Amino acid sequence: MRAVLTALMLCLAGLGCRTYHNGVPVREALVEPNAYNLKYKYGGKMSDLRYITIHNTWNSAPAQRERDYLNNRPDKVYISYHFVVDEQGAIQTMPLDECAWHAGDGRGPGNRNSLGIEIARSRCYGRDEQLYRQAEENAVNLIAWLLDRYKLSVDDLRMHKDWSGKKCPHRILEENRWDEFKARVAVSLYNLQR
């Protein structure tokens, strides 16, 4: 009972309501809609969601640090994404009906018609590699839930590379596992819909 009350108090205080989607803990911590972030992170309303775009963060930081860095990044670069996922779960950083600047294609369909998912911990190797592997597994299950929610299929998954040519999601590309990643999402989607 105490844990439930603590979670409710944190939620009401705006410090992280947590829900579960396909077994993945998801907390909403949207990028603050201040004047700077509205200009450089919010891309306007998304009228037609058609894709989900997969990224790797290219470092070993956890999701909360990625979210905080995004929220406070002052370099006048248009950059944002909808979720960042690590071994603990996912953090939603943008409203799901808002375009985010993650695909590198300007006002093209990568930014205008897709949700951006960052998989954190992608530079964790050796004894910390399990952090990345669990982050990726959480991403697989979150993506399956999003595909189901928006009536999309694994054929609607894209890599950052598909939009701009950037080597991202680098870890999946380096390990030549894009087809295997999509197959895992397909299995999770199938299990979710059973």
Token reading at 126: 């050796």
Per-residue pLDDT of the chain (194 residues; tens, 9 = 90+): 554 444 445 554 455 578 999 999 999 999 999 999 999 999 999 999 999 999 999 999 999 999 999 999 999 999 999 999 999 999 999 999 999 999 999 999 999 999 999 999 999 999 999 999 999 999 999 999 999 999 999 999 999 999 999 999 999 999 999 999 999 999 999 999 99
Please give the C-alpha separations between residue 90 and each of 7, 24, 26, in angstroms, as whole numbers: 17, 7, 5
Note the pLDDT of residue 18.
Answer: 85
Query: Does residue 1 sit within a domain?
Result: no
Smallest CA-to-CA distance from 93 within 69, 60, 128, 124 is with 69
Query: Does residue 6 sit within a domain?
Result: no
Note the pLDDT of residue 17.
Answer: 73
Query: Does residue 97 sit within a domain?
Result: yes
Q: What is the CATH number of the domain that holds 40?
A: 3.40.80.10
Note the pLDDT of residue 6.
Answer: 47
Q: In the beta sheet, which residues pair with residue 115?
A: 52
Q: What is the per-residue DSSP string for 104-173?
A: SSTTSHHHHSEEEEEE--TT--GGGHHHHHHHHHHHHHHHHHHHHHTT--GGGEEEHHHHH----SHHHH
Note the pLDDT of residue 48.
Answer: 96
Smallest CA-to-CA distance from 171 within 74, 81, 54 is with 54
Note the pLDDT of residue 1.
Answer: 53
Query: Does residue 10 sit within a domain?
Result: no
Q: What's the domain range around 168?
A: 19-193
Number of domains composing the chain = 1
3-state secondary structure of 91: strand
- Contacting residues for 15 by C-beta, under 8 A, at least 6 apart: none
Smallest CA-to-CA distance from 117 within 32, 36, 21 is with 21
Query: Does residue 109 sit within a domain?
Result: yes
Query: Does residue 13 sit within a domain?
Result: no
Token reading at 102: 């993650």
Note the pLDDT of residue 85.
Answer: 98
Query: Does residue 3 sit within a domain?
Result: no
C-alpha 16, offset from chain centre:
16
pTM, to two decimals: 0.91
Query: Does residue 131 sit within a domain?
Result: yes
Note the pLDDT of residue 16.
Answer: 58
